[in-house]
């Protein structure tokens, strides 16, 4: 009887929880765009996340010797956040996540060592293509939004690769806190400069704290734990669940409906994730 890898199952559970919280937070964040824009929402997200994580993990107690991976990790994290918010200002969340997922797919493809993995990546990519609307229609995608989502995907790939490197240095939570602080130092002043006193609205601050918790503090900590217990390739392929979860969050929070074809694509993405996970567990 095959043995169950408890560390792998724990990593999968952490990653699922991370994806649910991050997409719920993104749906809530989009509702703030009319008030503080993507820049102010990013400032809320990174600023409160950095504060929460630093208070919990107190990373100053054990500072890393090699700061370069953490700085790059933090810059990728911040770049991923701001470009994704700019993208979903112009295109739907589910579509933005589908396009952004080109980053993790690239990591999975280039790190693959088994032909079986190419099959699951191709299957997931087909599902993502089906999630996209007809760009030739009157309500086609905003090209700037598409480009921004693809740029966010490139940052996401860097986040995965350097997250793996930084996660191996020590405490995952402390590492995320340091990376989030780097991102906040760069982008919070940018948000404040563009949105100013609007960020101090007491009616918006609770939502800002909620976004910081759901969109960054909690999911990135969970992802760091997952990265320490699975390969970057397995992490990337399993993240193909992200468009499906984004679509569900958009449905429940923003009342965004999906067509039958889009639901078919969602299930294709889920099958690809399950297939990659099972093939990875058999080879371990």
Where do the structural domains in the chain lie, given as residue ranges? 6-283
For residue 42, is pLDDT > 70? yes
For residue 190, is pLDDT > 80? yes
Over range 61-87, report the average pLDDT.
Answer: 89
Residue pair 168/225 in contact by the 8 Å Cβ criterion: no
Residue pair 49/180 in contact by the 8 Å Cβ criterion: yes
Q: What residue has token string 């997250």?
A: 163
- Tell me what pLDDT residue 215 has: 84
- Tell me what pLDDT residue 1 has: 43
The number of helices, as runs of H, and strands, as runs of E, in the chain is: 13, 0
Q: Cα separation of 96 and 87, whole Å?
A: 7
Over range 179-200, report the average pLDDT.
Answer: 93
Q: pLDDT per residue over 111-126, tens digit each? A: 766 777 777 777 777 8
- Tell me what pLDDT residue 3 has: 52
Residue pair 73/163 in contact by the 8 Å Cβ criterion: yes
Q: pLDDT per residue over 199-257, tens digit each? A: 999 999 999 999 988 887 788 778 878 877 777 667 766 777 777 788 788 778 877 77
Highest mean pLDDT range out of 28-32, 181-185, 219-223?
181-185
The three-class DSSP label of residue 202 is coil
């Amino acid at each position: 009887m095959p043995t169950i890898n408890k560390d792998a199952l724990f990593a999968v559970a952490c990653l699922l929880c991370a994806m649910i919280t991050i997409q719920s937070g993104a749906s809530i964040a989009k509702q703030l765009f009319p008030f503080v824009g993507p820049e102010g929402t990013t400032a809320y997200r990174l600023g409160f996340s950095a504060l929460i994580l630093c208070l919990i993990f107190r990373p100053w107690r054990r500072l890393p010797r090699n700061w370069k991976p953490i700085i790059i990790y933090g810059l990728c994290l911040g770049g991923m956040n701001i470009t994704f918010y700019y993208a979903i200002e112009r295109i739907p969340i589910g579509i933005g996540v589908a396009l952004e997922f080109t980053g993790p797919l690239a990591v999975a493809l280039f790190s693959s060592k088994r032909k079986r993995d190419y099959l699951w990546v191709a299957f997931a990519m087909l599902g993502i293509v089906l999630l996209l609307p007809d760009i030739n229609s009157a309500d086609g995608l905003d090209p700037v939004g598409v480009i921004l989502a693809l740029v966010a995907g490139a940052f996401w790939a860097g986040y995965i690769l350097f997250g793996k490197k930084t996660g191996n240095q020590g405490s995952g939570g402390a590492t995320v806190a340091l990376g989030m602080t780097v991102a906040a130092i760069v982008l919070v002043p940018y948000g404040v400069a563009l949105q100013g006193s609007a960020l101090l609205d007491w009616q918006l601050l609770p939502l800002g704290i909620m976004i910081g918790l759901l969109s960054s503090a909690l999911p990135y900590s969970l992802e760091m734990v997952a990265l320490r217990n699975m390969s970057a390739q397995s992490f990337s392929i399993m993240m193909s669940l992200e468009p499906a979860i984004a679509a569900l969050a958009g449905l429940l929070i923003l009342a965004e409906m999906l067509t039958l074809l889009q639901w078919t694509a969602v299930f294709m993405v889920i099958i690809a994730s399950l297939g990659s996970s099972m093939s990875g567990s058999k080879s371990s």
